[in-house]
Amino acid sequence: MCPVLLLFLLMAALNSESSANLPEDNTGRKFIAAFPENIAYYHPVLPQNKIQITALHDNTVIIIKQHTYEVITDTLMAGQSKEFTPNVGMEIWKQQISNLVLYITSTNNITVHAISLRDNSMQTALVIPADKLSNEYLIPQIPTIKGTTDQVSVEVTERNPFRLIIISGNKATTGTVEGAQGVPFKLEALQIWQILLNKEHELKAVKADQPVAVFFFHPCAIQFNCTCGLLHNMLPPAKEETLKFLVPPVLAGDADGETFLLLPDKIKPLDPTSPLVEAAGMALLYRPGLLLPLIPETDFGSCFVVGLIPDTQSFAVIVVHKDFTDGVRVGNLPLESPEWKELTGTEYVSTDVELLQVKVVIWHTSSTMAVYFKGSKGDAVFGNPGAMLSKTPDFRGCVLAPEVLKIGEVANGWRESLRYCRGENLDLVSMPSAQLGAQISRKVFEAKDDSLQEVWIGMRRSSQTGAWYWLNKAPVNDTNWKEGEPGMVDDGQCAIMSLESEDFEWSDEDCCKVARPVCYSDPILLPL
């Protein structure tokens, strides 16, 4: 078997279990978000709350509605990222019910990050699209923070309890924050409810009759040297199964006893020698200044977008299987001299890459991975999961819509097979490169039934010159002819691919021979 095909088959085996469980990506056309109180409301420095949007397609119209405030509109091109600054009065203070919801819509899929800054207190959050929100969220355990959670007071902002912000979508919503003392709530459409997480209530989960967004935060948790800052991130929807989380060293920091995993049922001190953690439902990484939802292994993707934040040090943190480090790409380029660090006891490694552009696309040619954003401003550290654009790896780039491959149901001649494919808005498959041939052959092999022995592909001889050509007009360079093939012009004018072995070799055949076709269309890739 050729080495390229062996690599693709190994990748398929590696990802076969996780790919079936991968979630939808982080792109959408509707988003809801809010800005929590960042430090005490009496702080003399005004907040700088921003929304960072990345468009995936040309001429994407963005509309940001701010309750009764202004409406922001703009048009972005494919791959363009831009920051939008809503009204300064959008920050939510201590009120329980609020209408200060940001409602973001677009004509094409986008990704959205929320950025909250006040002096050196900065936090970023990946905003989940409205159509991928849930009716149920698990509440993490509250970390022990000296000067904050050990001296709780509703009168002093630094000593406030942690809080939840629950945001309804376009429908009126009722629900309960469940626990030892459950707390019901009722919201109108696009309304916010804020609740203090008092320990005596032992609150465990949010359950609602409509999908909601849930933010977990503290307005001013003590970090170091009697300074405090916002802790803020969006909770991922609850999952019932036990998940595996990998913690890269650069996110864990020095793990000096102040780094914890916040789980639904317990707080687990992070052991740097055991970066693999299993937990039911979800896991947040906490260290002073940082509150970060971890990406479970089942949710790894093939393409992410991360964005530099001006006036900060910004990095992308990458976690990938150790056998597939060569496939990582930043924009169009492979990583330059990466320093891979082994995640002890696992098959994974991690590295970090400094971000020098406003928007960076990180993708993999053949496998899946996890990508995080990590930033720092002064002594403050913050971060969020990267926005996953795709879960389909492809050696050609970041896939927005995957390639389509279909084996025709009826065996027929080459010309009839071509007509059938085009009737499906596809074409007989062209495979002008060895990489593409390996990728398509693997997918045909996975999709075929036991009776399928050979298939038509989109190659034939020119009736004028006798030269072979691909239907998509690509040059005929890399070929996979069986030994002794192709024969003379009179032997056969159309190319057929054998499925009897994993070599997927080609032969020339009479175009009237009966066989089933492989129909195909190219993926849609994000401009890099």
Distance CA(359)–CA(337), nearest Å, equals 21
* Count of Cβ atoms closer than 10 Å to residue 256 Cβ: 9
Tell whether the model's pLDDT for residue 94 goes beyond 70.
Answer: yes
pLDDT tens string 371-400:
999 998 877 789 999 999 999 999 999 999
**Coil vs helix vs strand at 472:** coil
Tokens of 243: 């998940």
At 255 the pLDDT is: 56
pLDDT, position 3: 38
* pLDDT tens-digit readout, 168-195: 999 999 999 999 888 999 999 999 999 9
- Is it the case that residue 5 has pLDDT exceeding 50? no
Query: Residue 351 has what pLDDT?
Result: 97
Confidence grade of residue 13 (pLDDT, cut at 50, 70, 90): very low
SS (H, E, C) 484-497: CCCCCHHHCCEEEE
The Cβ of residue 467 has, within 10 Å, a number of other Cβ atoms equal to 9
Contact (Cβ atoms closer than 8 angstroms) between residue 244 and residue 276:
yes
- Mean of all residue pLDDT scores within the chain: 90
Residue 19 neighbours by CB under 8 Å, 6+ apart: 368, 391
With vertex at residue 464, the alpha carbon angle to CA 462 and CA 466, rounded to the nearest 5 degrees, is 50
CA distance linking residue 307 with residue 289, whole number of Å: 20
Taking a C-beta distance cutoff of 8 angstroms, is the pair 426, 518 a contact? no
Which residue's entry shows tokens 């020339």?
A: 508
pTM above 0.75, yes or no: yes
> Which pair of structure tokens corresponds to residue 84?
């939008």
pLDDT value at position 63? 96
Please determine, for residue 30, whether its predicted confidence score (pLDDT) is greater than 80.
yes
Picking from 215, 185, 219, 162, the residue whose alpha carbon sits closest to that of residue 47 is 219
> What is the per-residue pLDDT across 234-288, written as a single tens digit (0 to 9) for each?
999 998 889 999 999 999 877 566 889 999 999 999 888 899 999 998 999 999 8
Residues 205 and 207: their CA atoms lie apart, in Å, by 6
Distance in angstroms (rounded) separating the CA atoms of residues 142 and 275: 21
Query: Which pLDDT value is given to residue 125?
Result: 96
Asked if 519 and 414 touch (Cβ cutoff 8 Å), the reply is no
Q: Which of 15-29, 264-278, 409-423 has the lowest mean pLDDT?
A: 15-29
* pLDDT score for 88: 64
Find the distance separating the first CA and the last CA of the chain, reported in whole Å. 33
User: Which residues have CB under 8 Å from 96's CB, separation 6+?
Assistant: 193, 194, 195
**Which residues sit opposite 490 in a β-bridge?**
none
Convert 137-180 into a string of H (helix), E (strand) and C (coil).
EECCCCCCCCCCCCCCCCCCHHHCCCEEEEEECCCCEEEEEEEC
Q: What is the mean pLDDT of residues 6-15?
A: 38
212: three-class secondary structure by DSSP: strand
